[in-house]
Structure 1
Amino acid sequence: MRILLFTIGSRGEAQPMVALATRLAASGQQVVMCAPPDFQTWAERLGVTYVPVGPRLRGTARRKAGGVPSPEQRRHMIEGTVTDQFTAVGAAAEGCDVIVAGGALAIAARSVAERRGIGYVYTAFAPVTLPSPQHAPPVQGMPGHGPAEGTVDNSALWAEDARGWDALWGPALNARREALGLPPVTDVRSHLFTGAPWLAADPTLAPWPGPAQPDVVQTGAWLLPDDRPLPSEVEAFLDAGEPPVHVGFGSVRAPEGVARAVIGAARSLGRRVIVGRGWAQLSPVDDEPDCLAVGEVNQRVLFTRVAAVVHHGGAGTTTTAALAGVPQVVVPQVYDQFYFARRVERLGIGSAHPSGGPTVDSLGTALNRALDPTVTAAARLVARSIRTDGTATAARRLLEMA
């Protein structure tokens, strides 16, 4: 069986797809991954055949002047990414039996599958991104959107969301479909998500709120095994004192001054800090020995050695911290990160930072709550229920499709 895995997202979407790719390859399947060029070297080092699509994303994590693009600029951006996707995915799908699309920006995948007459699976990484009367669409933090106020009708919000999909993506998608001899799509979101999307999220941490349409298949999170040892300087820092606080924002933008605020908050509580540079290039504020900056390391090991993890609330980081049994402080920025912040609070395994820019005082309060012994105990308890068989479940279902 030959399988194409496609995502156009950042590390939060790419890493689960790489995890599934390595699982499928280990079971003897042929796998091709199509994703932004940022992850090509890493994926190929793990033995994954890789086709890059679109521009590099790393620069998007650094704050730039310029504001929100104009409608004309946005139209050109959308037409460009849709064209790039159809070209790259169309070529990568040669000889494939099924395409697995990960994340909401994988616009071309189903059309390419339809044109080739092969299978198609859409995968979400957070329940809140799939339509349900149990929750509203995840628009908080997105340009032009704020938190919903008062009593809201979730079904009405999802209907409005669908109209937004049609207006934003419909013209470019249907132009490419027409060029392939395919009929136009009248409901872009339903076309992409299908009536039975997969949900690659842990059932304890991020359960599907059903029963309701669509008929969601929850596989569990797609976690990438990692047996790399920690660098010697990290081991030495960990051994030199009490467990530190880790702060990192992965491949997303970090709030202005967040590293300084976390370090100040941790110091006020007598804690050291490990700063994960990430794409935002966070760094310590001085040369004091109680802080250490690190690049790409094995978080599944590192998180078991720290007192708390301060992060953005991405699906992957939240799941990794939950699996490690470490308290979390979530400082959400956009999209599904607000959902994971609420889940961490609800499960009692950490605290969610309130809206607004983080300060030493606000992070000190959130961090002090997360370090409470009852929260630490809850985090360790929840860790026992976090599943690690998500890729095995997904691989089995794909083989059953064949």
Structure 2
Amino acid sequence: MRALGAEVRVCAPPDFAELLDGVGVPLVPIGRPVRPMVKGAVTGTAPLPAAGLPQRAAALVATTYDAVAAVAEGCDAVVATGLMPAGAAARAVAEKLGIRYVCVAYFPSYLPSPHHPPHAWPGRPLPPEVTDNQELWDLNTENMNVLFGEAINTHRASIGLPPVDNVRDYVFTDQPWLAADPTLGPWLEPADLDVVQTGAWIRPDERPLPADVEAFLDAGAPPVYVGFGSMPMRDSEDVAQAAIEAVRAHGRRALVSRGWADLALIDDQDDCFAVGEVNQQALFRRVAAVVHHGGAGTTTTAALAGAPQVVVPQIVDQPYWAGRVAELGIGAAHDGPTPTFESLSAALTTALAPETRTRARAVAGTIRTDGTTVAAKLLLDAVSRERPPVSA
């Protein structure tokens, strides 16, 4: 956006301040840090009770609206992603200001489609007897209204906007954007939504690898990377033990990323090395395989690097990405969120097979890298068409 001459303001949780500082974009923080909430939900130390969702939704709507409204004056568009209440608040700001609103999804299964079911919400599991996707999405509409409708409409009334009767469709609009690679995460037709698939939004990373990481990579054969990004893990010590032993059982070295799971080495042998935040785009080109949680970004980065993958999905979209990795033949989908020595050993057998490496390299050549440019041009073109003509 900035390269095309636009000014950009970003509203996000305070966790992302360091990331945005690194690219010189000012952050307007929304609410509290996400990391403690995610850790509690994933590890079970502070699960999110379904009964509290409407109250949390009300708080998220209010804090998001206030943050976005404070900086959106004078802007031409609001681009939003994230949780449903936050998207509703962002659209309400655009509605009040009379400017364009765009909803962005990072994975196809977030959007209503006859080709996949919706994700379940806490306290509202998908009924096992219902197998028709359209029926499940109709139920999803009801669930969104029950969980978030009152909070969203109460806030809308407070700012002079009329109520909405379909929260989900209001947030998504009839033309959402899909920031996923067409090979890795294709949008399937026919579907009711007019989805604009821009390609994945990949942030170019030119950082060199740290000297100690380079030294470890140069000291032997390509290692297996193990890391779960922003996912805390139950029993992280057991996970690290299982992962390192499984990698060693295949005669490989291990590169362990600490991440939000706080993974650590299990001994002081020189065939394992622990890393913090590094340039994954550079690193994944030099590893034998990537064992990860299946986030959209990590999956795309590994696919672009041509690295075979083992996806150990934890929540939301991650089972989708695990399935796509397996379907494409570029790695293995781990069965469930809890890895063991046996399960990881089996998955690595698939990922480290020569034919998987060959297939991963072939698919890497199909992954597009222009998604951000496509999206920026689409948005600026749309905004320019909507601006009133300037009088002489």
CA distance, structure 2, for counterparts of residue 356 and residue 115 of structure 1: 42
**Contact residue 85 and residue 107 of structure 1 kept, 8 A:** no
Partner of 2:109: 128
Runs of 4+ in 1 over 4 A off after TM superposition: 144-151
The farther-off stretch of 44-53 and 143-152 is: 143-152
1:225-244 to structure 2, matched below 5 A, reads 225-244=204-223
1:284 and 2:284 aligned:
no
1:27-72 CA distance string (max 9 Å, x none): 211000000001112202311122010101122353352444361x
CA distance, structure 2, for counterparts of residue 180 and residue 316 of structure 1: 36
Partner of 1:263: 244
**Contact residue 49 and residue 123 of structure 2 kept, 8 A:** no
For 2:297, give the aligned amino acid. G
1:68-147 to structure 2, matched below 5 A, reads 68-69=48-49, 71=51, 73-105=52-84, 106-139=87-120, 143-144=122-123
Partner of 1:180: 159
CA distance, structure 1, for counterparts of residue 192 and residue 147 of structure 2: 24
Partner of 1:44: 21
1:330-349 to structure 2, matched below 5 A, reads 330-349=311-330
**Contact residue 130 and residue 136 of structure 2 kept, 8 A:** no
CA distance, structure 2, for counterparts of residue 171 and residue 118 of structure 1: 25
CA distance, structure 1, for counterparts of residue 247 and residue 169 of structure 2: 45
1:218 and 2:197 aligned:
yes
For 1:197, give the aligned amino acid. P
**Contact residue 199 and residue 216 of structure 1 kept, 8 A:** yes
1:167 and 2:161 aligned:
no
Does the residue aligned with 1:367 lie in a helix, a strand or coil? helix
**Contact residue 128 and residue 339 of structure 1 kept, 8 A:** yes
CA distance, structure 2, for counterparts of residue 347 and residue 101 of structure 1: 30
What TM-score do the two structures reach when normalised by structure 2? 0.92
Partner of 1:392: 373
CA distance, structure 1, for counterparts of residue 94 and residue 126 of structure 2: 36
* Structure 1 residue 255: Cα displacement: 4.4
CA gap of 1:70–1:119, structure 2 versus 1, over 3 A, is closer
CA gap of 1:149–1:372, structure 2 versus 1, over 3 A, is farther
CA distance, structure 1, for counterparts of residue 313 and residue 105 of structure 2: 19
1:319-358 to structure 2, matched below 5 A, reads 319-355=300-336, 357-358=338-339
CA distance, structure 1, for counterparts of residue 122 and residue 271 of structure 2: 37
Higher relative contact order (CA 8 A, sep 6+): 1
Does the residue aligned with 1:246 lie in a helix, a strand or coil? strand
Partner of 2:45: 65
Partner of 2:342: 361
* Structure 1 residue 203: Cα displacement: 0.2
Root mean square deviation of aligned Cα = 1.6
CA gap of 1:145–1:218, structure 2 versus 1, over 3 A, is same
Partner of 1:19: none
Identity %: 53
CA gap of 1:202–1:148, structure 2 versus 1, over 3 A, is farther
For 1:43, give the aligned amino acid. L
**Contact residue 103 and residue 125 of structure 1 kept, 8 A:** no
Identify which of 197, 206, 227 aligns with 1:248.
227
Partner of 1:156: 135
Partner of 2:12: 35
**Contact residue 199 and residue 218 of structure 1 kept, 8 A:** yes
CA distance, structure 1, for counterparts of residue 350 and residue 167 of structure 2: 43
1:377 and 2:358 aligned:
yes
Does the residue aligned with 1:252 lie in a helix, a strand or coil? coil
CA distance, structure 1, for counterparts of residue 266 and residue 66 of structure 2: 45
* Structure 1 residue 349: Cα displacement: 0.1
CA distance, structure 1, for counterparts of residue 203 and residue 257 of structure 2: 19
CA distance, structure 1, for counterparts of residue 50 and residue 188 of structure 2: 37
Does the residue aligned with 1:293 lie in a helix, a strand or coil? strand
CA gap of 1:189–1:328, structure 2 versus 1, over 3 A, is same
Partner of 1:3: none
Unpaired stretches in structure 1, ≥5 consecutive residues: 1-23
Does the residue aligned with 1:168 lie in a helix, a strand or coil? helix
For 1:99, give the aligned amino acid. V
1:325-355 CA distance string (max 9 Å, x none): 0000000011111110000000000000012
* Structure 1 residue 134: Cα displacement: 1.0
CA gap of 1:355–1:196, structure 2 versus 1, over 3 A, is same
